[in-house]
Amino acid sequence: MRTAQAVAWKEIQIYFSSPTAYIVGLIFLALTGFFFTQDLGDPFPEATLTPFFDGAIIVFILLAPALTMRLLAEESKLGTIELLLTSPVRDWEIIVGKYVASIVFFLVLVGLSFLYAILLFVYASPDPGPIYAGYLGLILYGSAALAIGLLTSTMTNNQIVSAVVAMGILLALFFADRAFGSISGKAGEIIGEMGLRGHYDDFARGVIDTTNIVYFVSVIAFFLFLSIRTLESRRWR
């Protein structure tokens, strides 16, 4: 476990010293701030963060791959992956360490966005339930997106390829419940249940359902498991 912590700490230092990470952070805050202000021009604006939450998950489809694309793809490109694979570090420790680092940076971004909630509470009287639930959903959604991005980063030494593939998977999962909603029978029901958006929408409405929590945790565990297996396979190439 200490090794995973060491890997995570190293990656966290890289994140906070990387211009790319700061650019991604600024883009996230700028775009989500834009969505937050969308209702302010209405004659009777609602005291809600729903526009922010709806916009944040769309923005993160683009930004999650940017945060994870270098995690292992860069190691492969630079040849340092060989040092990792031949060192006394377990594959799961590498994956977990790098994943935790991406989560830490993501949580910092989410923490900075609390400014929108503070402004809402200062100038209005919003219902806190949907805000708390929305942030929980955003954290779970973002954590799942980062797990997907980490998997694609383990599969290639090209950061651009990693980002594009991760974005494609996220888009497919985002629209799954809508694109396949017209399919009748069990197949359509199963495909619809795979959609990220459908499980996130309840949180944005202020509903915390354990089924949705289990879904996101399962997605995270599944893609981290695939990442570990993919990294293990590279030892035998």
Kindly list the domain boundaries of the chain, sorted by start residue: 2-234
How much is the pLDDT for 142? 93
**CB distance 175 to 61 below 8 Å:** no
What per-residue confidence (pLDDT) applies to 99? 94
- Residue 78 exposure: Cα atoms within 13 Å on the Cβ side: 11
Residues of the chain scoring pLDDT < 50: none
Cα 176 to Cα 196: distance, rounded to the nearest angstrom: 8
Q: How far apart, in whole angstroms, are the C-alpha atoms of residue 117 and residue 50?
A: 11
Q: What pLDDT was estimated at residue 119? A: 82
> Per the structure block, which two tokens stand in for 42?
């209405």
Nearest to 102 by CA among 147, 140, 135: 147
pLDDT of residue 85: 63
Give pLDDT, residue 180.
57
pLDDT for position 90: 82
Spatial distance between the Cα atoms of 67 and 108, rounded to a whole number of angstroms: 13
Through-space distance between the first and last CA atoms of the chain, rounded to whole angstroms: 26
* Residue 212 neighbours by CB distance under 10 Å: 20
pLDDT of residue 146: 95
* H or E element, residue 219: helix 210-234
pLDDT recorded at residue 204: 81
For residue 129, CA distances in Å to 49, 147, 197 come to 11, 27, 20
Q: How many other CB atoms sit within 10 Å of the CB of residue 160? A: 11
pLDDT at 235: 64
